[in-house]
């Protein structure tokens, strides 16, 4: 009796692990797009930090990301159990905030390009940066990155929860926890590698091997361009992710975009859908920015 009970238990565990493996793969595939956005956004967030403080800043953001998911996973399970109708509105609010941050970055960039700095103004700005508290600057960077990560993590958790919503509670908990841990380790491991790419280039350049020196010089030439590209991609990702969340939360709008893009094939369909999310994200962000500025003026 005891032996048969043990075999039955092992069989149940094997079945459970098999179900978790299958659903975990589906969840990872579904969240892959968001992971790309998460990666570009977080690599962009740590730019401007001193080289010897890049890894500590990435580690600080990674710890904040773990804390975000530690809050989001139980919260998502509770909301799913008691108030499933609240998930989409909460995600839409987060998406609108991402769009708002994206528009702010675009406006700041346009303002900077329009009002080119004089050499004197540049020197004054650099002096101010040198004089400011490095610890405070790092905390500000980490806080901004963790805030952005919270919204992207919420979308990843929500997508995963939607896939496993019909599974037993234990499966839901294990899959959500597994995806949360893998996503955080994967994203911030890659971010750490990206921000230290120039250091690797310097290290290789000083080697005796001609091949290592050539690779080092190539990495040193590539690193600044990679960070600039990530900065642009990170801003676009805010509109794509934020606009996509809002579009999916409005069925009529989502169906209209899907119906329009169905007349095309392959990559054109994807480009049209993402282009619509991008434009809608920029419009939503602009509306939120106007509202925030208006409220600020009224309060002043």
State the angle between helix axes of 210-249 and 267-299 in degrees (0 to 180), rounded to the nearest 10: 70
Question: The pTM is what?
Answer: 0.67
Q: CA dist 225 to 37, 54, 109, Å?
A: 18, 18, 17
Contact (CB, 8 A) for 51 and 206 = no
Given this model, what pLDDT does residue 286 score?
94
Given this model, what pLDDT does residue 14 score?
40
pLDDT in tens, 140-155: 777 877 887 887 788 7
pLDDT in tens, 269-295: 888 888 999 999 999 999 999 999 999
């Amino acid at each position: 009796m005891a032996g048969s009970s043990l075999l039955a238990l092992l069989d149940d565990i094997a079945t459970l692990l098999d179900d978790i493996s299958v659903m975990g793969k589906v969840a990872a595939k579904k969240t892959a797009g968001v992971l790309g956005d998460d990666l570009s956004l977080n690599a962009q967030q740590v730019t401007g930090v001193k080289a010897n403080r890049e890894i500590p800043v990435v580690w600080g953001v990674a710890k904040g990301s773990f804390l975000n998911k530690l809050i989001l996973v139980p919260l998502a399970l509770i909301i799913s159990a008691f108030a499933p109708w609240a998930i989409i509105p909460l995600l839409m609010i987060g998406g609108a905030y991402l769009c708002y941050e994206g528009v702010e970055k675009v406006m700041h960039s346009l303002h900077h390009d329009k009002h080119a700095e004089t050499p004197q103004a540049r020197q004054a700005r650099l002096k101010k940066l040198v004089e400011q508290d490095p610890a405070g600057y790092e905390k500000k960077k980490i806080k901004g990155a963790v805030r952005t990560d919270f919204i992207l993590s919420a979308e990843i958790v929500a997508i995963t929860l939607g896939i496993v919503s019909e599974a037993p509670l234990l499966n839901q908990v294990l899959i959500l926890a597994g995806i949360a841990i893998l996503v955080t380790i994967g994203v911030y491991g890659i971010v750490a590698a990206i921000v230290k790419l120039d250091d690797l280039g310097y290290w290789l350049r000083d080697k005796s091997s001609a091949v290592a020196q050539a690779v080092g010089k190539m990495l040193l030439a590539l690193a600044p361009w990679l960070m600039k590209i990530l900065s642009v991609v990170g801003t676009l990702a805010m509109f794509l992710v934020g606009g996509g969340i809002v579009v999916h939360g409005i069925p009529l709008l989502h169906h209209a975009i899907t119906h329009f893009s169905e007349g095309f094939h392959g990559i054109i369909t994807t480009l049209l859908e993402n282009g619509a999310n991008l434009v809608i994200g920029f419009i939503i962000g602009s509306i939120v920015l106007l509202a925030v500025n208006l409220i600020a003026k009224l309060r002043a």
